[in-house]
């Protein structure tokens, strides 16, 4: 019994006691790991999201630096829209669209629905000026066509 340690209660440590202590230590370590799971670096936004946020806030200098730091694979993902989380959830999208159009009507800006009737020859870009004149919108004067 010389190799065994005795605690204050004077009973020898058994294999079961050591196993239980190790189990308690492992469980507490797992609990701490789970609790800290939402902390850095696990919850870091993707580079595409950082670039998008910089563009959205109008910080062009930061956006430029972030773009230069993106790898070609990350740039391709950004072009496909991967790694960017929307600012509005899918369920809130119809409500957001309706609020957008309600704000436009209050300001007197663009109407919600415009009916265009093409002429018998069809519609083209040349018809845009007549459409704007009919609705009362301001149109810049069209330059004269160059003679050939």
CB atoms within 10 A of CB 66: 19
pLDDT of residue 62: 93
What is the pLDDT confidence band of residue 67, given thresholds at 50, 70 and 90? very high
Token pair, residue 3, equals 């190799």
Q: pLDDT tens digit string along 77-119?
A: 989 888 888 777 778 888 888 887 777 765 555 555 556 566 6
Per the CB < 8 A criterion, the answer to whether 66 and 50 are in contact is: yes
Q: What is the mean pLDDT of residues 36-61?
A: 81
Three-state DSSP class for residue 6 = strand
| pTM for this model (two decimals) | 0.39
Residues 6 or more apart whose Cβ sits within 8 Å of residue 86: none
Short-list 55, 125, 115, 107, CA closest to 84: 55
Three-state DSSP class for residue 46 = coil
pLDDT of residue 51: 92
């Amino acid at each position: 019994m010389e190799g065994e340690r005795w605690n204050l209660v004077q009973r020898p440590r058994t294999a079961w006691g050591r196993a239980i202590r190790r189990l308690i230590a492992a469980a507490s370590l797992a609990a701490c790991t789970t609790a800290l799971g939402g902390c850095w670096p696990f919850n870091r936004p993707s580079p595409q999201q950082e670039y998008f946020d910089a563009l959205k806030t109008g910080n062009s200098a930061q956006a430029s630096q972030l773009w230069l730091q993106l790898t070609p694979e990350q740039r391709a993902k950004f072009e496909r829209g991967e790694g960017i989380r929307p600012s509005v959830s899918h369920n809130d999208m119809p409500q957001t669209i309706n609020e957008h159009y309600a704000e436009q009507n209050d300001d007197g800006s663009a109407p919600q629905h415009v009916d265009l009737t093409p002429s018998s020859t069809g519609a083209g870009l040349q018809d845009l000026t007549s459409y704007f004149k009919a609705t009362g919108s301001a149109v810049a004067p069209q330059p004269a066509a160059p003679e050939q």
